[in-house]
A = this chain, B = another copy of it.
């Protein structure tokens, strides 16, 4: 009964489904296309995951669990506020450059299905930013940084790191540059975003 065997088929399916779902979303993805991508028969998808919905949820949770821990680790570390901002920006952008479709996939499906957030919160390892909030409030009180609500600072950090990937097609149009140049901008942002934020709040 042990899973000594390599579960290649199941993981093949998951990876194929991840690719298709991330490109087309839940509604736009087709079971047949996922089966083709995985190189198997469509019935096997149902054998392993019962329904499109369950397959989707498996993919979604996998995607979310690739991103959430990063946020959690950095935000709850013992490092200073500025270090957190630097580390998160660097880590996050490096990671997303390797998985460019992940953030958009998650945000998109959460918008279509807002009640899904509650399910995620109930799960383990959902990010918690209490420590970060306290840290910001302390620094504001002691006058080390400009007054700002922790929530606003948090939103700003997320926005500056995540949006450039989600809004890439639009931004490329506005700025009028090609993919490669845009990627170079992202590369630069690994450090520049953090400095931008720190400049905005330091006294």
Contacts and interface: CB of A to CB of B under 8 A. Distances in A.
Contacts of A24: 27, 112
Contacts of A114: 169
A1 interface: no
B185 A106 contact: no
Contact of A185 (B116, B152, B169): B152
Interface in A146-161: 146, 148-149, 151-152, 154-156, 158-160
Contact of A28 (B112, B118, B193): B112
A156 B194 CA distance: 12
Nearest to A68: B174
A154 B167 contact: no
Contacts of A121: 173
24 contacts: A25-B25, A25-B112, A27-B27, A28-B112, A104-B111, A106-B170, A110-B170, A118-B173, A120-B173, A121-B173, A155-B189, A156-B160, A158-B163, A158-B171, A159-B159, A159-B160, A159-B163, A162-B167, A163-B163, A163-B167, A166-B166, A196-B201, A197-B200, A199-B199
